[in-house]
């Protein structure tokens, strides 16, 4: 568009009604998101090899109906683009998908699935499916922890949100036995007592961090000695000093690894050893992580790993970088 035509267009915007202005803003946001997504995908395809034969000799071959650049391999004669063989190869509304990415990694407080669906004027099931695709692509970049390493576990209440176990039991009690516990809201309705303290219905999430800011978290199936050793052994260097509570598994891990170990208590006066050895930083991290999970009303157990990874990677993660993670299969050779 010429500059004069653009200036005339800006002058005509002053006569827009509030509804028209809101519609225009929404269209500009969609167009900006579409261009950003297409730019990231085209840049990935520009340096990628053929996903069919891994050849790097290619030529441009038009564009797809979603606007991404298509290439034709000079060796196998097959066409492909930056999304071929990736987890987002069949997504049509790239502009809306990119806005879901921005909401997950740029917004201070991510929206719920229903809020985002209403804002984007699409089905909540579509937003949920897109979010699960993104969560499955996330993985923490694990840096070895060194120096003073704080380690502790926090507990997240188990949720079977979306489970059909009670429905199947009520339809056919003979075929489907009674589930092992009530649903959480039924405890209050029936007056049943909920177990206090730790139980098998609370899932442990082991968290470790050093004073350089490197962090690590993983949901554990249990707190046995062998489980904790297998979790911590690959990520803690042998020159580290471990700070933990009195759980015996940490002492056995430190002894087997030959590293220094400082045990902190929970009573006043025993929460620090000197000025340097404590676990206050990892406890604060637990509090922030639970505040992040609280608006989601208890993620289901099978999705909890993805939400923990989401919390740890979302700070400093650009939408373009997350989109590249979704396209990482484009360079992989065929199975």
In a domain, 222, yes or no: yes
Does residue 10 form part of some domain? Answer: no
My answer on whether 190 and 272 are in the same domain is yes
Determine, yes or no, domain membership for 3. Answer: no
**pTM reported for the whole predicted model:** 0.76
Residues 304 and 211 in one domain: yes
* 293 inside domain: yes
Residue 179 near residue 166 (C-beta atoms within 8 A): yes
The CA distance from 234 to 232, in Å, is 6
pLDDT of res. 30:
67
Residues 314 and 199 occupy one common structural domain: yes
Q: Domain tally for the chain? A: 2
Q: For 130-150, how does the pLDDT look when each residue is reduced to its tens digit (9 = 90+)?
A: 999 888 887 766 788 999 999
Low-confidence ranges of the chain (pLDDT < 70): 1, 30, 33-34, 140-141, 316, 320, 328-335
Taking a C-beta distance cutoff of 8 angstroms, is the pair 50, 108 a contact?
A: no
Eight-state DSSP code of residue 302:
G
Residues 262, 273 contacting (CB under 8 angstroms) = yes
Q: Are residues 169 and 274 in the same domain?
A: yes
State CA 228 to chain mean position distance.
Answer: 23
Does a structural domain hold residue 52? Answer: yes
Is the same domain home to 58 and 126? yes
Task: Check whether residue 208 and residue 250 sit in a common domain.
Answer: yes
**Per-residue tokens: 294:** 């609280």
Are both 157 and 297 inside the same structural domain? yes
Q: How do residues 173-192 score in pLDDT, each as one tens digit?
A: 999 998 888 877 788 888 88
* Domain contains 115: yes
Q: Is 159 in a helix, a strand, or coil? A: coil
**Strands (DSSP E) found in 3-81:** 58-63, 69-73, 79-81
Quick one: pLDDT at residue 316? Answer: 65
In which residue are the tokens 């984007």 written?
120
Considering the domain boundaries, does residue 335 fall inside one?
A: no
Task: Say what the pLDDT of residue 332 is.
Answer: 46
Regarding whether 59 and 167 lie in a shared domain, the answer is no
Same domain, yes or no, for 94 and 40?
yes
In terms of residue numbers, what domain contains 267? 148-322
Based on the fold, state whether residues 195 and 114 are members of the same structural domain. Answer: no
What pLDDT shows up at residue 333? 38
Do 127 and 197 sit in the same domain of this protein?
no
Is 153 inside any structural domain?
yes
Tell me the CA distances in angstroms from 210 to 219, 276, 282, one per residue in order.
19, 12, 9
One domain for residues 84 and 187: no
| CATH number of the domain where residue 249 is located | 3.30.420.10
């Amino acid at each position: 568009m010429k500059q004069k035509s653009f200036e005339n267009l800006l002058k005509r915007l002053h006569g827009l009604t509030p509804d028209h202005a809101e519609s225009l803003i929404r269209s500009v946001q969609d167009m900006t998101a579409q261009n950003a997504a297409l730019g990231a995908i085209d840049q990935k395809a520009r340096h990628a090899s053929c996903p069919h034969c891994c050849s790097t000799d290619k030529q441009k071959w038009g564009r797809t109906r979603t606007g991404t650049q298509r290439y034709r391999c000079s060796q196998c004669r097959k066409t492909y683009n930056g999304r071929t063989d990736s987890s987002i190869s069949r997504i049509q509304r790239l502009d809306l998908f990119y806005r879901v990415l921005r909401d997950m990694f740029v917004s201070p407080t991510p929206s719920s699935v229903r809020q985002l669906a209403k804002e984007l004027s699409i089905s909540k099931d579509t937003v949920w499916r897109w979010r699960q695709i993104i969560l499955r692509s996330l993985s923490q970049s694990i840096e070895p922890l060194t120096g003073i390493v704080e380690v502790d576990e926090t507990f997240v209440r188990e949720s079977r949100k979306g489970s059909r176990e009670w429905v199947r039991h009520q339809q056919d009690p003979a075929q489907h036995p009674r589930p092992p516990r009530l649903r959480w809201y039924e405890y209050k309705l029936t007056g049943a007592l909920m177990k206090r303290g730790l139980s098998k219905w609370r899932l442990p999430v082991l968290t470790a961090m050093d004073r350089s800011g490197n962090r690590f978290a993983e949901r554990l199936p249990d707190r046995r000695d062998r489980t904790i050793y297998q979790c911590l052994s690959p990520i803690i260097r042998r020159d580290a000093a471990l700070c933990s509570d009195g759980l015996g598994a940490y002492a056995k891990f430190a002894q087997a690894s030959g590293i220094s170990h400082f045990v902190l208590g929970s009573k006043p006066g025993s929460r620090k050893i000197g000025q340097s050895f404590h676990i206050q930083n990892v406890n604060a991290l637990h509090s922030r992580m639970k505040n992040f999970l609280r608006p989601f009303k208890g993620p289901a157990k099978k999705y909890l790993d993805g939400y923990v990874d989401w919390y740890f990677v979302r700070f400093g993660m650009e939408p373009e970088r997350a989109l590249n993670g979704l396209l990482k299969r484009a360079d992989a050779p065929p199975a």
